[in-house]
Amino acid sequence: MVLHLDCTVREGSRTRQLAQAYLKDKQQVTHLDLIDLDIKPLTREMLDKRTYLLEHGMLQDPMFDMARQFASADEIVISAPFWDGSFPSVLKVYIENIYVIGIVSDYTPEGAPYGLCKADKLTYITTAGGKYIPDFSYDYIRTVFENNFGIKESRLIKAEMLDIEGFDCEAILSETISRMQN
C-alpha cells in the first residue's frame, strides 16, 4: 500500500498536481488529506494517555491507528508545498502523532533510534514560487525517516521558480512531470 500524505491546502495546488501525476499509475493508494484530518499537536493530556498506553503495552489502542497505518505502508509519498522556508506545519503535527516507540521506531540499548516501518521508499513532492531550499523541509523529513523510521530510499521531486517573472510555470510543471515518469 502506498500512503499519500497530502499537505496541500489550496484548490488548484501545483504540488497536488505533481502528486496526482506521480500517483496515477500506483496501485492501492491510501490518500490522507492532513488538513481534513484536523489532527492536533500533542497536549499534556494526550501525552499522559500515550505514556500510559505505551507503559502498559497497549499498542492496539485507537490512539495509535495512524502510527500503525504509517508503519505498515510499502511506500510513503508526501506532497508538501514549500512554505516560509519549510513545509506546512500540519506535516510536523502528523509526525508528532505517528512517532510511537514500538510501532514506527525503537531504540538500541545504547539509545540510538532504529526504524520499524515496512516502507523502503519515501517520495517527497514539492513546489516553490522561488528557489527551493531543502534544508528545513525535504532534508529534515529524509533524515527523520531514514534514521528513525528505517526508510532508506528517498526521492525529491520539485518544481521551483514557479512565480518568478520570466519563468514559464506551466512548462516547469510539465517538465517535472515528464522527468518523474522516467
Stretch 138-158: mean pLDDT: 96
Distance CA 124, CA 126 (A): 7
The pLDDT assigned to 153 comes to 96
The pLDDT assigned to 181 comes to 76
DSSP 57: T
Q: What percent of the chain has pLDDT over 70?
A: 99
The pLDDT assigned to 180 comes to 87
The pLDDT assigned to 108 comes to 95
Give the residue from 77, 67, 99, 83 showing the smallest Cα distance to 137. Answer: 83
Q: Among 9-13, 48-52, 128-132, 140-144, which stretch is predicted with the lowest mean pLDDT? A: 9-13
Q: Mention the CATH class of domain 2-180.
A: alpha beta
pTM, to two decimals: 0.95
Stretch 28-53: mean pLDDT: 96
Distance CA 73, CA 70 (A): 6
* Alpha helices, DSSP H, located in the chain: 14-23, 34-37, 44-55, 65-72, 89-98, 138-149, 169-180
pLDDT in tens, 71-90: 999 999 999 999 999 999 99
pLDDT in tens, 94-144: 999 999 999 999 999 999 999 999 999 999 999 999 999 999 999 999 999
pLDDT at 182 over 70: no
Distance CA 49, CA 68 (A): 17
The pLDDT assigned to 87 comes to 96
pLDDT at 26 over 90: yes
